Amino acid sequence: MMRAVFLFLALSACAQFPEVDAAAPTHLPTPSLLPTDQLIAGVDQSTPADPLAGPVSGLKARAAALRAQTASQ
């Protein structure tokens, strides 16, 4: 019985779920790869851009608009 459960879990882990893949954001920037020397040293000399900067600024603008709308009422 336990073998069947493990087999089911293993097979479902290998299955593709298009609904889940469709919900995943695909417009995120690809992170840059670090040179091997930096990986070995444990030093990240690159400063990656904040991937959440766009959505955060959009939310802040929406919040400001809602505040302005509430204040005018």
Q: What does the pLDDT look like over 14-34, one tens digit per residue?
A: 778 788 777 777 777 777 777
User: Is the pLDDT confidence value at 61 over 90?
Assistant: yes
What percent of the chain is predicted at pLDDT more than 90?
A: 22
Evaluate the CA torsion angle 34, 27, 51, 15 in order and state its sign: negative
pTM exceeds 0.85: no
- Token duo for residue 65: 């608009």
> Which residues have a Cβ under 8 Å from the Cβ of 28 and sit 6 or more positions away?
51
The burial class, CB within 10 Å (0-12 / 13-18 / 19+), for 69 is exposed
Question: Has residue 59 got a pLDDT over 90?
Answer: yes
Looking at residue 68, its pLDDT comes to: 92
Look at residue 72 in the predicted model and tell me its pLDDT. Answer: 86
